[in-house]
């Protein structure tokens, strides 16, 4: 039951990119109250603790260490503790937290709805896991298969410093990074795709604000039974049948695939590009890195955790 007439929400870190977008998406929701700490008390731990005790859900849009501290503060409230949704990396592979990807598997949405603590997925892992998990679950992709994940994101996913660099025109128009092969999204990607072998992940950034493509190349003749590209597409389509925000889209190999057409939505599109003769395929996920990759996913989880219809805040077409 809500603590008041309607459920209430506090976004801890509401001035950041994700926090601002969550607030903007939910500001007009008639069944939700959004609370804030007065500016003069933003750095007062007692003020934060008091507000946490009053609201039903706290969304943590904070750096990892600050998110851990805030989670501990909330836990110390005992029966007054709010539900938590963490948008940081801090708790994504913590078994005490439910992973906030409702389409991950059967029963995941119900687990999120019942959970006191939910970890919002990362943008890159959302695309990679969406492509890989159904294939592992269907027995098409062995968990120990050597997987490579390539991805390109808009610069808004890099935080304030990267955004400023691109907007000032001083950033390179495209670059690879994470070349130590220790990107912080890797543990999450491996865990929820159910891979026993650590994937090789090569992220990159392009000179555009929002949008993302995540691709996984596969040698089909190295997979059990040498499946055809159509078999891969069918497995994905079966897994996401009926999903509102995840769609398997027929791939047009003659067209260019750009990363920005889903910006402003919570949609995630999956495509299978294949060459049956060469027994090769490239699986591609397209999403808005600030939508289904961040704030859109958070709003979807908020709706589940508070029992709210949030469809109006998650448009199915770019605004």
What pLDDT band is residue 41 in, cutting at 50, 70 and 90? confident
The catalytically annotated residue of 123, 151, 281, 290 is 123
- What is residue 43's predicted lDDT score, i.e. its pLDDT? 84
In this prediction, residue 315 carries a pLDDT of 80
Number of neighbouring beta carbons within 10 Å of residue 309: 9
Confidence of residue 318 (pLDDT cuts 50, 70, 90): low
The percentage of residues in the chain with a pLDDT greater than 70, rounded to a whole number, is: 99
Please determine, for residue 144, whether its predicted confidence score (pLDDT) is greater than 70: yes
Burial of 202 (0-12, 13-18, 19+ CB in 10 A): middle
Q: How far apart are CA 296 and CA 308, in angstroms?
A: 14
pLDDT, position 105: 97
Is there a contact between 200 and 147 (Cβ–Cβ < 8 Å)? yes
Q: What is the pLDDT of residues 250-305, one digit of tens each?
A: 999 999 999 999 999 999 999 999 999 999 999 999 999 999 999 999 999 999 99
pLDDT at 231: 97
Helix, strand, coil % in the chain, rounded to nearest 5: 35, 20, 45
What's the mean pLDDT in 141-167? 94
Q: Which two tokens stand for residue 292?
A: 């289904």
* Model pLDDT, residue 319: 52
pLDDT band at 63 (very low <50, low <70, confident <90, very high): very high
Mean pLDDT, rounded, for 31-46: 91
Look up the pTM and report it: 0.95
**Residue 160: per-residue pLDDT:** 85
The pLDDT value recorded for residue 223 is 98
Structure tokens at 75: 């836990």
Catalytic, 123? Answer yes
Mean pLDDT of 91-96: 98
Q: How far apart are the first and last CA of the chain?
A: 34
Average pLDDT along the chain? 96
Residue-wise pLDDT for 173-231, tens only, equals 999 999 999 999 999 999 999 999 999 999 999 999 999 999 999 999 999 999 999 99
| CB contact at 8 A, 288 and 263 | yes
């Amino acid at each position: 039951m809500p603590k008041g007439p309607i459920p209430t929400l506090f976004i801890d870190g509401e001035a950041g990119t994700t926090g601002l977008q969550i607030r903007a998406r939910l500001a007009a929701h008639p069944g939700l109250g959004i609370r804030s700490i007065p500016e003069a008390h933003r750095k007062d731990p007692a003020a934060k603790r008091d507000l946490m005790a009053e609201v039903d859900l706290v969304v943590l849009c904070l750096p990892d260490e600050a998110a851990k501290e805030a989670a501990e503060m909330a836990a110390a409230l005992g029966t007054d503790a709010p539900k938590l949704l963490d948008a940081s990396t801090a708790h994504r592979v913590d078994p005490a937290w439910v992973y906030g990807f409702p389409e991950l598997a059967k029963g995941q949405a119900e687990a999120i709805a019942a959970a006191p603590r939910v970890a919002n997925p990362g943008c890159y892992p959302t695309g990679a896991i969406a492509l890989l998990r159904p294939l592992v679950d269907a027995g098409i992709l062995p968990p120990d298969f050597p997987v490579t994940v390539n991805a390109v994101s808009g610069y808004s996913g890099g935080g304030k410093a990267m955004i400023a660099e691109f907007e000032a025109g001083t950033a390179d128009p495209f670059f690879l990074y994470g070349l130590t092969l220790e990107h912080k999204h890797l543990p999450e990607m491996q865990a929820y795709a159910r891979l026993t072998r650590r994937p090789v992940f090569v992220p990159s950034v392009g000179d555009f604000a929002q949008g993302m493509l995540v691709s996984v190349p596969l040698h089909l003749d190295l997979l059990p039974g040498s499946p055809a590209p159509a078999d891969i597409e069918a497995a994905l389509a079966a897994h996401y049948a009926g999903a509102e925000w995840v769609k398997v889209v027929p791939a047009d190999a003659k067209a260019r695939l750009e990363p920005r057409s889903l910006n402003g939505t919570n949609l995630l599109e999956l495509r299978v590009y294949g060459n049956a003769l060469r027994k090769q395929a490239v699986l591609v996920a397209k999403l808005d890195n600030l939508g289904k990759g961040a704030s859109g996913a958070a709003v979807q989880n908020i709706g589940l955790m508070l029992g709210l219809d949030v469809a109006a805040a998650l448009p199915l077409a770019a605004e």
